[in-house]
Structure 1
Amino acid sequence: MNKSAFVLITLAALASTSSLALAQSSDGVLTVATIGEPPTLDVMQTPTDIVLTIDQHIFETLYTYDAQWKSVPLLAAGMPTLSEDGLTYRIALREGVTFHDGSAFDAKDVTASLKRWMAINSKGKQVAAIVESLTEDGDHAVVIKLKSRYAPLLATLSQASVIMPSEKLADTLTEFVGTGPYALKERKPDQYTRLVRFEGYKSPEGEVSNYAGKREAIAREIRFVPVPDANTRVEGLISGQFDYADSLPVSAYERVEQSGNAKPVIFKDAGWASMNMNMKEGLLVKKELRQAVQAALNPNDMMLAAFSEDRFFSVDASIFPKGSFWHTEAGVARYGEGDPEAAEKLLQQAGYDGTPLRLMTSRQYEFHYKIGEVAKAYLEAAGFKVDLQVVDWATLTTRRADPKEWDIFITHSNFPGDPTTINTITDTYPGWYVSDQKAKAVAAYMDATTDEAKKAAWDGIQTVIYDDAPLYKVGNFNAVSGLANGVSGYEPTYWPHFWNVSPKK
């Protein structure tokens, strides 16, 4: 097997030393090479990394994440006022904010947008189940009344719950109008998505911290260009065609560094790779077979194949990395060198009949594909028959919504500020992880009121995740991206953003 590997993820490149205070609007254009064409710009429908990366420039949420991944105000005027029982949130809204179409942002837009989000988004649906009412309190505040405590509410409201004009909302969006620093000007599928500076933008206050703080649309225009081939992104960056290239191959690190035209950067623990299992239909509805998958796999070999050198990855059974408040070894089981005998025993207990295991992956994220190749070999050694299905990323995100189409898909995620916002914990996320013991463990977390109680509850959640086996954590990865020389003000974030960034002169 070819063990040269590629790191393809959507975390960006180079922190700038220039001061935002010195930045001025520019007539320049930033050309951003992405890993592919977004399947949609409706982030409520499809909150994947590529959609989030583009959409965050167009749309804004009530809250966003600071450098500690804590939720802080964005369109909200401040942190919510809570009732004594923790069930009622009153959220004041910023005044004087306008949408790209010139209409004023108000409470009606918030309630309408959040109701759509709760109807169609996987995390929104989870929130909807515990919302008693969502109402306007005048033009500049909304009130959310809950049926029960919900500790991750603000963290959940910080992603994909974008606010749009109530008049523009529809089951299928035809206009993409937000309050963000950039407005959608033109989209030519498979060519580019073109955003232009919104001259009427009103920035939040505060120091820049991850996605929080002051936002300034310095570049006149941002063009997101889909470039599925990783080496083409590298060549375009080095030649000056691209100002930023997402998700570069590890093998190109030195070449970019020595080019004199661009700089690469490694970021530690950018995210984690996982194999998500279908608990709703098909082969893996049996827990013993999901546990057999766990027992069969060797995470170090998968990560080595995917990332080439251990400076680009780490293997850690804890879902959160070392140094994180949420790091724990609680409940870890069937994680290590791969145990084909233990896996074979679980296969026999489950009465495995040789039905092929459909393992779905994509080459647009080359490390997903490499993980899939090694996983296939270990699973077959344990006695599974494996059907490795390699599709483009847009197809994978569409197909994984149908439980009849797959058994395992490979993906990656960042490390969220609240552990219960991990996709797999959501009942409706593809994989459909539903179990009584998970529900009890999550309920304990929701009732926690202190950090210590939350940590203890998270230990319980990780324990049942290992027992139920809705996913297999492969490992933590670092990331390589590239930024052209002369571009200043860029600050690395998981979903790379380009407000506060000055183009080359």
Structure 2
Amino acid sequence: MLKKLTIAGLASVSMLVAAQGFAQERGGVVNVATIGELTTLDPMTATGDLLGMVTQHFFETLYTFDKDWNVAPLLAEALPEVSADGKVHTIKLRQGIVFHDGSAMTAEDVVASLKRWLEVASRGKLVAANLDKLEAVDDYTVQITLKQPFAPLTALLAFNNSAAVVLPSEKIAETLADYVGTGPYMIKERKADQYLQLVRFDGYKAREGEPDGFGGARKQYLDEIRFVPVPDANTRVEGAIAGQYDYADLLPVEAFDRLNGQAKTEPLVLKSFGWPMFIMNNKEGMMTKPGLRKAVQSALNAEDMMAAAFGKPEFFALDGALYPDGYQWRSDAGIEGYNQADPEKAKTLATEAGYDGKPVRILTSRQYEFHYKMAQVAAEYLKAAGLAVQLDVVDWATLVQRRAEPALWDIFITHSPFLPDPALIAPLPSSYPGWWASEAKDKLVVALNTEMDPQKRVAIFADIQKLIYEEAPFYKVGDFNALSAKSPKLAGFTPSAWPYFWNAYIAK
């Protein structure tokens, strides 16, 4: 949660509060070092935290999340009016919203955008099968009629990942050619592998009131935001120390001591940031055999992987539950399958599954250094269980491309923040790479999504978590805190899983 993301080191809460005392003047350029180049700027057609982080500055959705992860209106005027049977969602739109090309946003644009989202976005497809009707009631009212109730609809419409962004209807195409949104910043120039330059959109109409997480007012203090792909994590660290980057994303945790005490940067520790996972290929190759997936689950030592990836114990926690303490979704169902570290059991399971000696191809990237370190440790435990291993280390953009091809890998490594609704968890839909298709899973997910009683949904999710350990489509490694760095002059910045730079300004 945003409210759970606390700050340590020099960037203490008191310093952030004190920073609010600086004059919030317009002006200045912020350079943001990201983990690498984006393969696309279309947030509908791809998933990934980096994509959502960048594109949320120029594309917007009907809804977003406040600081407590409650759904909040963004381009919508308010939360939907929902019929008594839970099937009809009536959405009033804000008036006076203008796209970056100067055209006015109306219900026609929203309907066209949502139709594209339903067709091409992995999370849109979760809604598509349940859609009865999508229509514009008038110029500023959209109505979504479902075949049956669907509890996570507004959360899906709010998510910036596989996002239901609103585009001008005349710009919509199977492959976007123009990235025209309604956001506070707009694209000025993109140079591949160098930068994506965003500039203030003077026609932006912010919501009234104060900022509230991703919701509330989005204030445009900065003239320009430059997202700079810096694949090497140590280069991001050194660039932050030199003052080259005002914000450097996802740094190796061992860099904390080096960042601490610097004049031009300071460390940010985002606690309860998220969880790394090993996604197994359920569609093609050796991991289609449940016994081999269970063998991997039995072999892995989560403690050693987390220690190798994050070093200091204060940066990680061993936890097999998909949500940590403090979340309503927390459950211990099935977690006896977590952190078994039993190579002999794994060897037996692999033999029973007919393992033929071919290498387990683990796809990972050093742009997320903790992914790579976990892969190294995992390889040793799998070898101890009698499995051959092939580490395929590529840049993140290549990994995103390769993971879409089931013939190219057996396991890939990724991570996720803790999300407000389990329906948003990436590997649950069978359309996500990993392609977990299970009759039992499908029944439980349908039950989760159609149940409107919150407590009953919690119980259903516990059954889903138990099934994850039974079928082993992916493996949660643990919980982790993330390290980033920011300039002391960057004020008004709120740490989050997807850093955003509206509301931020340069302290004079």
Q: Same fold (TM over 0.5)?
A: yes
* Contact kept in structure 1, 2:184 and 2:502, CA below 8 Å: yes
Q: What CA distance in whole angstroms lies between the structure 2 residues aligned with 1:407 and 1:99?
A: 43
Give 2:150's aligned residue.
Answer: 150
1:244, distance to aligned residue in structure 2 (A): 0.9
Alignment partner of 1:17: what SS?
helix
Q: Distance in 1 between matches of 2:105 and 2:384?
A: 58
Residue identity opposite 1:57 in structure 2: H
Asked if residue 413 in structure 1 is aligned to residue 416 in structure 2, the reply is: yes
Which contiguous aligned blocks of 4+ residues in structure 1 show a shift greater than 6 angstroms? Answer: 10-13, 19-22
Query: Residues 317 and 475 of structure 1 are in contact (CA less than 8 Å); yes or no, is this contact kept in structure 2?
Result: yes
Q: Percent identical across equivalent pairs?
A: 51
Aligned to 1:50: 50
Structure 1 unaligned segments of length 5 or more: list them.
1-9
CA distance in 2, matches of 1:441, 1:362: 33
Q: Which amino acid aligns with 1:158?
A: A
More contact order relative to length (CA 8 Å, sep ≥ 6): 1
Hey, what's the Cα distance between the residues in 2 that align with 1:452 and 1:395? 41
- Structure 1 counterpart of 2:471, from 468, 481, 484: 468
Distance in 2 between the 1:23 and 1:38 partners? 34
Distance 1:458 1:23 in 2: 47
Q: CA RMSD in A?
A: 1.7
Give, as a single letter, the amino acid of the residue that structure 1 aligns with 2:48.
T
The aligned amino acid for 2:222 is A
1:260 is displaced (CA, Å) by 2.2
Q: Which runs of 5+ in 2 are unaligned?
A: none
Asked if the contact 1:11–1:481 (Cα under 8 Å) also holds between the matched residues in 2, the reply is no
**Counterpart position of 2:380:** 377
Asked if the contact 2:20–2:491 (Cα under 8 Å) also holds between the matched residues in 1, the reply is no
Once the two structures are superposed, residues 54-105 of structure 1 have per-residue CA deviations (whole angstroms, 9 ceiling, x without a partner) of 1000010001011222211100111111111111111110111111111001
Relative to structure 1, the CA distance from residue 274 to residue 229 in structure 2 (aligned partners, 3 Å threshold; closer, same or farther) is same
Which runs of structure 2 are paired with 1:286-435 in the superposition (5 Å)?
286-435=289-438
Confirm or deny that 1:456 pairs with 2:490.
no
Task: Provide the rounded CA distance (Å) in 2 between the counterparts of 1:445 and 1:125.
Answer: 16
Are 1:202 and 2:211 an aligned pair?
Answer: no
Q: Does the aligned pair in 2 maintain the 1:291–1:334 contact within 8 Å?
A: no
TM-score when normalising by structure 1: 0.95
Q: Which residue does 1:98 correspond to in 2?
A: 98
Letter in 2 for 1:199: D
Structure 2 CA distance for aligned equivalents of residues 412 and 204 of structure 1: 32
- State the Cα distance separating 1:208 from its structure 2 match: 2.2
How far did 1:50 drift? 1.4
Aligned to 1:111: 111
* Deviation of 1:475 (Å): 0.8
Change in 2 beyond 3 A, CA 1:12/1:162: farther
The answer on 1:168 being equivalent to 2:204 is no
Which residue of structure 2 lines up, in the alignment, with residue 444 of structure 1? 447
Aligned to 1:276, which of 272, 275, 279?
279
TM-score by length of 2: 0.95
- Per-residue CA deviation, residues 299-334 of structure 1 (Å, 9 max, x unaligned), is 000000001111111110101112211111012242
Aligned equivalent of 1:7: none
Using the TM superposition, name which of 15-24 and 387-396 deviates more. 15-24
Check conservation: 2:297, 2:340, Cα contact below 8 A: no
Once the two structures are TM-superposed, the CA of residue 486 in structure 1 deviates from its matched residue by: 1.5
1:17-32 map, 5 Å:
17=17, 24-32=24-32
TM-superposed CA distance for 1:443, in Å, is 2.2
Match of 1:482, SS state, is strand
